[in-house]
Amino acid sequence: MKRVLVISSSFREFSNSDGLAQEFIQGARENNNTVEYISLAGQEIKFCTGCFTCQSTEECVFEDDASRIVKRMATADVLVFATPIYYFEMSGQMKTLLDRTLPIYEKNYKFKEVYLLATAIEEGDEVFNATKEGFLGWIKCFEGAELKGTIFAGGLNEAGEINSHPARKEAYEMGRSIS
């Protein structure tokens, strides 16, 4: 049984990438994992200013939602990120949150398994490649952490279209595989 933290970054109602996150959560819960879900919608996530104060204090100078979310990240065994693809990359809000993880960089964090769920209008691996590469760059900075799984679902434009997409089952199975 693991502690799983799912961070969903789309701000849209009936978001497609969030649909994948919900399936993942259902599978992970059914396999008796403890799952926490955080949507970035409505959260205050300031940009990292690169002041490096956190490298000596282990605390960010900002007391916003991102600081609290990063602390939740540090105590999870498994991290799952869901993102819409924006211009072939992860969403800006997700990247901004990742930048804010500097307080736990080379410090105490538990997570070893990381998953990425993404949706876009276009189909094909090349649509997802830059998103995956960018995310791998972040993971590489957290020794011991590994990208354990990815799901990319293309062909999704309007909100809610995920409801009839086969990737939902894939996301459920991926969540269910966590033990």
Q: Considering only residues 76 through 115, tell me which ones interact with ligand FMN, judged by CB under 6 A.
A: 84-88
49 binds ligand FMN (CB under 6 A): no
* Least distance between ligand FMN and beta carbon 97 (Å): 15
Residue 90 or 114: the one with the smaller Cβ distance to ligand FMN is 90
Q: How far is the CB of 8 from ligand FMN (least distance, A)?
A: 8
Q: How far is the CB of 10 from ligand FMN (least distance, A)?
A: 3
Distance between CA atoms of 105 and 167, rounded to whole angstroms? 32
Whose CA is closest to 78, among 131, 40, 115, 117?
A: 115
User: Could you give the CA distance from residue 27 to residue 121 in angstroms, rounded to a whole number?
Assistant: 25
Select from 105, 107, 97, 112 the least CA-distant residue to 147: 112
Per CB under 6 A, contacts with ligand FMN among 142-171 are 156-157, 159
CB nearer to ligand FMN: give 49 or 157: 157
Is 131 a residue that touches ligand FMN (CB under 6 A)?
no
**141: which DSSP letter?**
T
Cα separation, 65 vs 44, in Å, equals: 5
- 17 touching ligand FMN, by CB under 6 A: yes
37 touching ligand FMN, by CB under 6 A: no
Binding site for ligand FMN (CB under 6 A): 10, 12, 15-18, 84-88, 119-122, 127, 156-157, 159
